[in-house]
Amino acid sequence: MTRIRLCASEAVPAGAVVAVSVDDEDLVVWRGHDGVVCVMEARCPHQWSHLAAEGAVDGDELVCCSHWWRFRRDGSGWKVNVNGRRDRKGDIGVLPVVEDDDGVWVEGEGA
Ligand code: FES
């Protein structure tokens, strides 16, 4: 396993979603309003919207604004109806993330 640096911590303030690429895989780095960072696949599993363009952080979830699916940091997908009921939707891939003084990192297989 090799750690791969994705970006500086300052590049992902609370509420931000940033596009990155690792080994030709498109990913997003986002930070919840609680300050915790997360790394996910960039494409929404519903209709493939890029979450750096269509994603918005809501609390500790990333929402795809194309059709309002929302993703927890464990990758589980949900949609909330007007009455607040949560229905399960498709999941998204999440990568193990490490943040330290040098930035945001994921564990990679190669190199
Ligand atoms: S493409 Fe993301 S919710 Fe539809």
pLDDT digits (tens, 9 = 90+) for 92-104: 999 999 999 999 9
Residues framing ligand 1 (Cβ under 6 A): 44, 46-47, 49, 64, 66-67, 69
How many whole angstroms separate alpha carbon 60 and alpha carbon 13?
13
| Cα–Cα dist 96/86, whole Å | 25
Rounded distance from Cα 43 to ligand 1 centre (Å): 9
Residues making up the chain, counted from first to last? 111
Question: Which residue ranges form the domains of the chain, and what is each CATH number?
Answer: 15-94 (2.102.10.10)
Distance (Å, rounded) from C-alpha 77 to C-alpha 44?
Answer: 10
Residues 30-88 have pLDDT tens digits of: 999 999 999 999 999 999 999 999 999 999 999 999 999 999 999 999 999 999 999 99
Contacts of 44 (CB under 8 A, 6+ apart): 50, 51, 54, 55, 64, 66, 69, 92
